[in-house]
């Protein structure tokens, strides 16, 4: 469909090979950041992680972490109780099942505690440049406002976007995240400044 192709091209043109706003130095830090970022802002995660990574600099130290101590580092993060438990379980599984090396395929990543499809895809997108789509709240909102999907779940929305866009999914995912975060916001979207204004028919559109 011509309109969908125009949307794709405009995303790629306006966001030049975008990357996540999460700050990380290695694969271990990336997976921890992505797990913490679920239903939490990247800005908040970036405030938490410097002290967290000083205390637990690698997967082995995280696997051996004391739960209460770990919670104290991430308590300003949403759902920190669950996340702390999952981080330790994830790290233990990496040490026990993958010889201390974080796996880089979807199936093995999803076998880890706290790592669902979205988290696995974001890790593979950011670390490997994999041709995957990942749907967070921003991507879900943007894709529905632009009538790219009518699906009720993130997983089904991901299928729609993957089918429509086919390639450059890693860049399109991140472009849609940033677009949803700063332009096509949940409240008061910046429609007058939007480069997709002429293609948008959303009922939320502010004229």
- DSSP 8-state class, residue 116: -
From residue 128, give the alpha-carbon distance in Å to each of 20, 57, 62, 115, 125: 13, 22, 23, 17, 6
Q: Find the catalytic residue in 8, 83, 92, 136.
A: 136
Give one word for 39, left, alpha or beta, with left for phi > 0 and alpha for psi -120 to 50: left
Tokens of 42: 């990247």
Q: Find the catalytic residue in 118, 152, 166, 185.
A: 118
Task: Establish whether 118 is a catalytic residue.
Answer: yes
Task: Establish whether 167 is a catalytic residue.
Answer: no
What is the spatial distance between Cα 43 and Cα 45, in angstroms, rounded to a whole number? 6
Phi, psi dihedrals of residue 152, rounded to the nearest 5°: -85, -15
- Dihedral sign from CA coordinates of 104, 106, 108, 109: positive
The DSSP code sequence of 44-91 is HHHHHHHHHHHH--SHHHHHT--HHHHHHHHTTSTTHHHHHHHHHHHH
Phi, psi dihedrals of residue 26, rounded to the nearest 5°: -155, 180
Residues identified as active-site: 118, 136
């Amino acid at each position: 469909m011509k309109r969908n192709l125009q949307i794709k091209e405009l995303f790629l043109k306006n966001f030049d090979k975008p990357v996540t706003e999460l700050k990380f130095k290695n694969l271990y830090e990336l997976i921890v950041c992505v797990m913490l970022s679920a239903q939490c802002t990247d800005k908040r995660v970036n405030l938490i992680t410097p002290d967290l990574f000083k205390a637990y600099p690698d997967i082995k130290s995280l696997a051996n972490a004391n739960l209460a101590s770990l919670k104290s580092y991430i308590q300003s993060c949403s759902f920190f109780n669950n996340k702390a438990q999952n981080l330790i379980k994830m790290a233990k599984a990496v040490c026990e099942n993958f010889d201390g090396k974080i796996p880089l395929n979807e199936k093995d990543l999803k076998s880890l505690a706290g790592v669902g499809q979205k988290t696995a895809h974001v890790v593979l997108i950011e670390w490997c440049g994999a041709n995957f789509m990942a749907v967070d709240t921003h991507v879900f909102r943007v894709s529905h406002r632009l009538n790219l999907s009518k699906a009720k779940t993130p997983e089904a929305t991901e299928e729609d976007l993957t089918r429509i866009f086919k390639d450059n999914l890693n860049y399109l995912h991140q472009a849609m995240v940033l677009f949803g975060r700063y332009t096509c916001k949940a409240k008061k979207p910046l429609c007058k400044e939007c480069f997709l204004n002429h293609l948008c028919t959303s009922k939320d559109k502010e004229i």
